[in-house]
Amino acid sequence: MSHIDWVRGAVIYQIFPDRFARSAAAGIDGEFERWETPETAEGFKGGNLKGAEERLDHIASLGATAVYFNPVFASAANHRYHTHDYYKVDPILGGDAALDSFIKAAHRRGIRVILDGVFNHASRGFFQFNHLLENGAASPYRKWFHPRGWPLKAYNLGRDEKPNYSCWWNLPALPKFNTRNPEVRRFILDVAKYWLERGIDGWRLDVPHEINDDAFWREFRRVCKGVNPGCYITGEIWGEAKRWLAGDQFDAVMNYRLSAACIAYFGGKKLSLTHAYGGRRLRPGGQKKFQDDIRALLGHYKYATTLVQMNMLSSHDTDRMLNTYGGDEALVQMAVVFSFLFPGAVNVYYGEEIGMEGALNAGTRNAMPWQNRKAWNTGLLKLYRQLGALRRNNPVIKSGSFEFLEEYCDGEILAFRRRLGRAAITCYINNSPAAREIRVKKSAPGSSPRALLDSGVAIQTAGKELILRLAPRGFVALG
């Protein structure tokens, strides 16, 4: 048994703290935007960790076994990827005590907590960088970053002027660490160790490929696993990630390649993306391409690694699912069903379970409409809860093999099976605008006439066969 077996079959609920939930009980002062107004680049809604704690019933109802928080450390940005202090939870979120309280409340429910580790870059407000701004070459921290001249040009740059220090995507607000500096390495490793000792269960690493240093990440793993062998280390790598998943660096990556395959196939001609997907322009693809993509994905890593991948449906860096799938809820449901039954953990971005809409930088990070339940898609919510319940402690989903059932995959019907010993779950998805009928041998693994999950299916017994009548865009899971 692996120390991170808890990740197998997990449902990870992703929270963007400023936009998830605001609790007056947190007693946090400040002038915030109205909760229900559209997102703005600089605006704060005032979501806090007490608000998230108060919504643990909702999170648990989805079968969630972990929460992944976008950054929570002190920052002057609503997304908090501009870290000011890695040892303090942002006071607008409630400070350190609020995180301690959330961790304890989540752990009581069997829900683990994963934090966002932004270690490639800091912010202009980070003490050591601010020291450079004030003191230039005289600062003892000058080797913490990559200056290319003095004084540093961190503000009020001209239209074609670039900052004279290395920073993420040439954004002056995000100075890049010099991780070759032993002092910086020690600082980052101490931060990682500190929060694990304080009770978190894992790190999601922001743009870790930009710290192009395998030795650093090996050391990061040794330090983290030394504190908690069961901590989960997953990296934001959008493409193939063999380099980082050999067993000596990360446990997993954010599996955007799975969501890309689902978008191209299930989204089909309705596919709609406002941005390139990990640098790629996704195009509609047929079933054969989808199967080839999935097989290629399964072939990249050891199966033990596949079983702990962080499988993405969407995130704070993508359009919302309804937008991506052209506003067609049936297409979204098919993609969700496939993703939930696929090997690995599944990451659910807050609000997808109620059908929130929005494009990247234009609604993807809108506030969760707790006070407007009429805006909730209760059909989607029911499906997410059913899938979460099906996954929870299900050995077939946690550890079972995966295979396509080629005899049924005809371009419209997509059939696949998860199997563990004699136990099996078989799923049939009708990716067609017309109803379809298929015949299944009752003796086949995972062919019980009892539906574990379905959307518009009629099941009839006929001798040694089951007759499945699937509605347009319908699906059924048998087991």
Which residues form the catalytic set? 206, 236
CB 437 within 8 A of CB 397: no
**Residue holding tokens 């996704």?**
282
Which helix (H) or strand (E) segment is 430 a member of? strand 423-430
CB 145 within 8 A of CB 180: no
Secondary structure tally for the chain: helices H, strands E: 14, 16
CA–CA dist 62, 389 (Å, integer): 7
CB 427 within 8 A of CB 476: yes
Give helix 329-341 / helix 378-391 axis angle, nearest 10°.
10
Alpha carbon 212 to its chain centroid, in Å, reads 22
User: What is the phi/psi pair of residue 297, to 5°?
Assistant: -60, -45
CA–CA dist 264, 280 (Å, integer): 12
Residues pairing with 476 in the sheet: 428, 454
- At 60, is the secondary structure helix, strand, or coil? helix
User: How many degrees, rounded to 5, is the angle at CA 329 between CA 410 and CA 460?
Assistant: 50
User: What is the phi/psi pair of residue 234, to 5°?
Assistant: -125, 140
Question: Residue 59: left if φ>0, alpha if ψ -120 to 50, beta else—which one?
Answer: alpha
CB 89 within 8 A of CB 96: yes
CA–CA dist 76, 388 (Å, integer): 35
Which helix (H) or strand (E) segment is 52 a member of? helix 49-54
Any idea how long the chain is?
A: 479
CA–CA dist 143, 326 (Å, integer): 49
State both tokens at 257.
Answer: 């390649």
**Residue holding tokens 């898609």?**
377
| Type of residue numbered 333 | Q
